[in-house]
Amino acid sequence: MRIILAGTGSAVGKTTIATGIMKALSEKYNVQPFKVGPDYIDPSYHTLATNNTSRNLDSFFMKKGQIRDSYLKAMQDKDIAVIEGVRGLYEGIDPINDIGSTASVAKALKAPVILIINSRSLVKSAAALVLGFKSLDPEINIAGVILNKVKNKAHYEKTKKSIEEITKTEVIGGIIRDDNISIEQRHLGLVPARERETSIKFIDIWSKTIQESIDLDRLVEIAKTAPKINSELIPIWNKTNKNPVKISVAYDEVFNFYYKENIEALEANNAKIEYFSPLNDENLPDCDALYIGGGYPELFSKELSSNTQMLKDIKKFHEESKPIFAECGGLMYLMNSIHDDKVVDVYPYKAVLTDKVQALKYTVAEVLKDNIISKKGDIFHGHEFHYSKVIVNDLKNDLAFKITRGKGSYNNMDGFMEKNTLASYVHTHVAAMPDFAGNFTTSAYELRD
């Protein structure tokens, strides 16, 4: 069973509705959550709601067969998949094709779609929206509609009647406008669930609202109409390292933006993963390599700066030429300062938060120099999303990546290199860099003491 929850656009309430549905269904079913597109924050809510790790499905990173294989792998021993879309149903990287869109995932998985509409001040016009979305691509099975932000029961009934009679598409629920079912915003989107002490309380509120507002039995019936799909046996990573290594992964309130598949790929390449907290732990664990992902170090710069022993340990690890790979927030942490707070100081540059978004898009990168995760000549897809920037007045070393789509860190380049430390604003998914884990674990083995 599977269902995709797609919006007519951004800010229609997809995340609160999807998370509420996941939580409500989890009372009866073993729910596997998914998120379309490059997103770390929405999946954090899904994971809390279901106690199953939410997975990303993305046609910019994955081939059609990889989307299916990733889906089927995650669905082992699960009852139903609830897949939250990204932006509007048809939004991708191109105004014509489907790449990067929710529609592309719906096609790959042959999944029925529930369309979520912000129905504020809409009645018959809501029917026009549904007609347009259905007619644009007949291959997409829009099997139902959820109306969000309805004024009252009368508004809901009128809009429901209009949609069902004009478009022959059933409306399976409507949600009254209520500030209690909104999520706090931050400069990178929604606040990550693991950072909110009251996350479970909010998810419970959303679940209760969903149970009162949506016909969940009918949603499950629609999910059951999805046809069987078969694996095409297209792996999303390569297994090339046979030597055991230990990799420490930064994971806490600050650093928590990781794709689960990246970690699994490292494990498949004989890495033993140990998590540590740059914020709360005094010492770095004994290991062969470090992986420092994205997050919000700009909001914790003083606390990170005050953990001086951890800063010394990571700097010593770098000076011993052991491999460190850092993405986005991890890159900031390896600079000499964030704002004016001293951090690890691998690179002699300052990271600062800006008022405007610096980069928000899918990226394509060409590798110009061999490094700990990739080889010269490789081309890979990624994404960047940050309000921060690195101030570089005098570049000390050449950068590893030429950014052919996107912005990068400096002059359309990215991948700061110093000894065996590599840091980039580009977030990498192993499906788009299948040798990532093999290269990184091999580097960890070859550079160990």
Active site residues: 328
Q: What is the dihedral of CA 319, 322, 326, 332, to 10 degrees?
A: -10
- How far apart CA 217 and CA 209 sit, in angstroms, is 15
Residue carrying the six token digits 């909010």: 202
DSSP string, 42-101: HHHHHHHHHSS--EEE-TTTS-HHHHHHHHHHHTTT-SEEEEEEEEETT-SSSSSS-TTS
Kindly give the pairing relationship between strand 289-292 and strand 324-327. Answer: parallel
DSSP string spanning 213-230? HB-HHHHHHHHHTSPP--
Find the radius of gyration of the CA atoms of the chain: 23
Tokens 């002699």 correspond to what residue? 348
> CA 209, CA 402: separation in Å to the nearest integer?
48
> Using the 8-state DSSP alphabet, how is residue 297 labeled?
G
Query: Quick one: tokens of 30?
Result: 């073993």
Return the DSSP state at 305: H
Pairing outcome for strands 185-186 and 359-367: unpaired
Q: How many beta carbons lie within 10 A of that of residue 55, not counting itself?
A: 22
DSSP state of 399: -
C-alpha angle 351-354-358 in degrees, rounded to nearest 5: 90
DSSP string spanning 124-193? Answer: HHHHHHHHHHHHH-TTS-EEEEEEEEESSHHHHHHHHHHHHHHH---EEEEEE--GGG---EETTEEPPG
Contact criterion met (CB below 8 Å) for 216 and 244: no
> Torsion over CA of 216, 211, 40 and 265, rounded to 10 degrees?
-50
Q: How far apart are CA 382 and CA 393, in angstroms?
A: 26
